[in-house]
Amino acid sequence: MAVTITAAVGYKSPNRPDDVRKVHDLLKRVPPAQGGPPPSFNPSSPYSPSVTDQHIYNFQVKQFGKGSNADAVVDPARETLKRLNALAGGGAGGGVGINPPPGPPVGALPPTKPDGSLPPVGEPSRAPSGHCYVGAILLSNVVNHAYIAGYQGEPRKVKAGVFKVPTYGLLLGHYREWEKGLLPDDMLAEFEVIRYGVRFDESKNVPGATNEDVFVVQGTCVGDFTLSRAPYLDGSWRIKGEYYIHVGPSNPRFKSDDASKLSGALGCVEICNRQWATFQVRVRALALGEKYLSGEIDDATADRIITEQNLFRLLVQPAARPPLNRIS
């Protein structure tokens, strides 16, 4: 018998506990190769954006691709629930993936121990070299707002126009296990970031065009990424393609009619409030510990090690694109 739910589960949904449990149970029954969570996933865990939304989204992308069906939501009457039921055997037992083959969790950070067991609670996962894995989660929660300028595409240059955009939270810390999130250690920190920018599209600059026609909101890609050090803007962390984590405005609430004095973004993640240097130091210290803090490893070497050993991961939660709010 097919599993049913009373209301939607996932991103900005009612997330009723019984419905969440049913969706988690269905996800658990789907093999990781078909978009299901890793074997370590606990279906009895409560709703969490970084767990529930992300696993739903991963399943949808695997099954449907990155289209309109990949919205991180399981709706009672839509295709995601039907596909979950089909792959999980309707939740009635005997379905595909109830006993997945042994192996490392798909998408999880590598375990510390040679036998594949997870490290104890409170101990971060480590690379074979002994260095620790670092994780960041770009959250969907709105923290405040920032004023930015619109950018032209290529060649990139600031265009006239000031826009008000939301700012979001970015968590940074050690990971014990990717699916279970950040460790609550003393290195855990949250930063305020811009994740949506505004791009000027000259192809829309025609007589009678509205601001909404001329300026297109751009947003950071969603998913799980391994970051590498890049030279962009005198140092940044590459997310994917031309998307980066980089320095942002020191005062995001500053508003000026002169667009050249404002920050702009095409969808990169900008660290606000003069916290860029702190962010850099925390990434290196989380990964390399006392060897970095004592000066045994310098900044450039630390960045090279983190990049070569894939020590820095980013999980980008899906967030609704904000309305285009032009101020001047």
pLDDT tens profile 115-155: 444 444 456 778 888 898 898 889 888 889 999 988 876 55
Task: Identify the pLDDT of residue 238.
Answer: 95
Domain membership of residue 78 (yes or no) is yes
Residues 158 and 295 grouped into a single domain: yes
Residues 70 and 177 grouped into a single domain: no
Residues 251 and 303 grouped into a single domain: yes
Count of structural domains, the chain: 2
CA-nearest of 10, 184, 25, 37 to 105 is 37
Low-confidence ranges of the chain (pLDDT < 70): 1, 89-123, 153-160, 176-188, 202, 205-213
Core vs surface per residue 69-103: b (16+ CB within 10 A) or e: ebbbbbeeeeebbebbbebbbbbeeebebeebeee
Task: Identify the pLDDT of residue 98.
Answer: 24
Domain membership of residue 269 (yes or no) is yes
Domain membership of residue 23 (yes or no) is yes
The three-state DSSP-derived secondary structure of the chain is CCCCCCCCEECCCCCCHHHHHHHHHHHHCCCHHHCCCCCCCCCCCCCCHHHHHHHHHHHHHHHHCCCCCCCCEECCCCHHHHHHHHHHHHHCCCCCCCCCCCCCCCCCCCCCCCCCCCCCCCCCCECCCCCECEEEEEEEEEEEEEEEEEEECCCCCEEEEEEEEEEEEEEEEEEEEHHHEECCCCCCEEEEEECEEEEECHHHCCCCCCHHHHEEEEECCCEEEECEEECHHHCEEEEECCEEEEECCCCCCCCCCCHHHCCCCCCCEEECCCCHHHHHHHHHHHHHCHHHHCCCCCHHHHHHHHHHCCCEEEEECCCCCCCCCECC
Residues 83 and 143 grouped into a single domain: no
Residues 164 and 46 grouped into a single domain: no
Is 41 in contact with 101 (CB distance < 8 Å)? no
Task: Identify the pLDDT of residue 7.
Answer: 93
CA-nearest of 176, 173, 218 to 191 is 173
Residues 308 and 165 grouped into a single domain: yes
d(CA 26, CA 62): 15
Residues 151 and 264 grouped into a single domain: yes
Which of 39, 66, 91 is the last residue before a domain boundary?
A: 91
Reading the block at residue 16, the tokens are 């009723």
Which of 91, 125, 148 is the last residue before a domain boundary?
A: 91
Centroid of chain to Cα 296:
32
Residues 199 and 274 grouped into a single domain: yes
Residues 245 and 140 grouped into a single domain: yes
Residues 179 and 300 grouped into a single domain: yes
Task: Identify the pLDDT of residue 140.
Answer: 85
Residues 163 and 27 grouped into a single domain: no
Task: Identify the pLDDT of residue 183.
Answer: 56
Domain membership of residue 52 (yes or no) is yes
Domain membership of residue 325 (yes or no) is no
Domain membership of residue 272 (yes or no) is yes
In terms of residue numbers, what domain contains 84?
9-91
Task: Identify the pLDDT of residue 152.
Answer: 72
Domain membership of residue 126 (yes or no) is no
Residues 75 and 157 grouped into a single domain: no
Which of 72, 91, 110 is the last residue before a domain boundary?
A: 91
Contacts of 170 (CB under 8 A, 6+ apart): 136, 137, 138, 139, 190, 191, 192, 193, 245, 269, 271
Task: Identify the pLDDT of residue 111.
Answer: 36
Domain membership of residue 163 (yes or no) is yes
Instruction: Give the model confidence (pLDDT) of 16-62 as tens digits.
Output: 999 999 999 999 888 887 888 887 788 888 998 888 998 998 898 88
